[in-house]
Amino acid sequence: MTTIIHRHERRPRTKLRALDPEQFPRGTRSDFFVRMFETASSGPIDVPFIVARGAKPGPVVGVTAAIHGNELNGIRIIHNVIEELDYSSMAGTLIGAPIVNMPAFHSGVRRFPDGYDLNHTFPGKPAGRSAEQYARAFSTVFLGPCQYLIDIHTASAGRLNTMYVRVDWHDQTARRMAELMNPEIILHIAGGDGTLRNTARQRGIPSITVEAGNPSVFQGRIIYEGETGLRNILIDLGLVRGEVELTRVPVVCKTSRWLRTTSGGLLDIRFDLADRIEKRQLLARTLDPFGYELMQFTAPYDGIVIGKAQYPVAIQGTRFCHLGQLGEPEALGATGTSASADGNRDEQ
């Protein structure tokens, strides 16, 4: 059946306000869209939210996915964890935003339609460029009630990731959340320009970024691992009952860098995800069209592979290895812990 919407019926604009969990019934989930933005034809862009409220009072935990529109694993992680909640014993509220960047999700791409990276745009501006207005609208609605934040991402297109967590290691609560995610690697990075995590962090909300696998796919194993980790956090915070499941000791990295080729060519990569790497170890070669070696690239420090290029056709300057540097960050006040701030910002 065709629904006819007359021009004069266009809804008046309503002012966006922070979600108030108290408005939702206890002991059940509420699923709804919030009108967040408008298309060029003045149509609505509606963003889905799930407010899962336990029968008992407790903390409010926010979980987001698809801030980059092609990062899909987190969507199913949120769905599955919420589907299994037992509301009668649950104490507190889980607010899920499974598809944050709805315009990019529709197009199957990473960035907002204006070409900007939404996760370098938070907290946004009320009269800024498109992505900034969207970021502002989303953070106003979502972050207001949150006391903890888990923001789920994946690698970007053409790259493969281990399961790893980015966190400010000096924030004790956030560090514990990172450990409970049961990742292969925990990477210390204090802020990150314009990320939702950094905006939350600046508002005193302990927050982590989970990098869960690869873009543009649902990966069963990664989704299962993400669910287990998220449930661990909810158990630890007292929201849900159950036993925390930890199956590995994560490798802690104090910083990281994306290594880039300094010649063009075909990439011959000699490492795998999560491999331990020794300083000066051969990581990759570039080959010319005839198969002859052009350059060798070796490791600048002892480390572990966090991410790698998938596509072997490399123009000069292609990122081929995201190499974590082993070790815990120095205590606050010491120097030398911020080298990763620029090197891996595109992965956030």
What is the binding site for Zn ion (CB under 5 A)? 68, 71, 153
Q: What is the CA radius of gyration of the chain?
A: 21
Preceding amide of 123 cis, omega within 30? yes
Between 273 and 277, name the residue whose CB sits nearer to Zn ion: 273
Minimum CB separation of residue 90 from Zn ion in Å reads 29
Minimum CB separation of residue 153 from Zn ion in Å reads 3
Minimum CB separation of residue 190 from Zn ion in Å reads 18
DSSP sequence for 214-228:
-TTS--HHHHHHHHH
Between 68 and 285, name the residue whose CB sits nearer to Zn ion: 68
Minimum CB separation of residue 49 from Zn ion in Å reads 19
Q: Which residues pair with 256 in a beta bridge?
A: 324
DSSP sequence for 120-133:
GSTT--TTS-HHHH
- The burial class, CB within 10 Å (0-12 / 13-18 / 19+), for 269 is middle
Between 64 and 261, name the residue whose CB sits nearer to Zn ion: 64
> For the stretch 234-259, what's the b/e string if a residue is b when 16 or more beta carbons lie within 10 angstroms of its beta carbon?
bbebebbeeeeeeeeebbbbbbbbbb
Between 68 and 175, name the residue whose CB sits nearer to Zn ion: 68
Minimum CB separation of residue 71 from Zn ion in Å reads 5
Closest residue to Zn ion: CB criterion: 153
> For the stretch 159-185, what's the b/e string if a residue is b when 16 or more beta carbons lie within 10 angstroms of its beta carbon?
bbbbbbbbbbbebeebbebbbbbbbbb
Minimum CB separation of residue 163 from Zn ion in Å reads 14
Between 111 and 153, name the residue whose CB sits nearer to Zn ion: 153
Tell me how many degrees the CA angle 21-242-66 measures, rounded to the nearest 5: 50
Between 21 and 307, name the residue whose CB sits nearer to Zn ion: 307
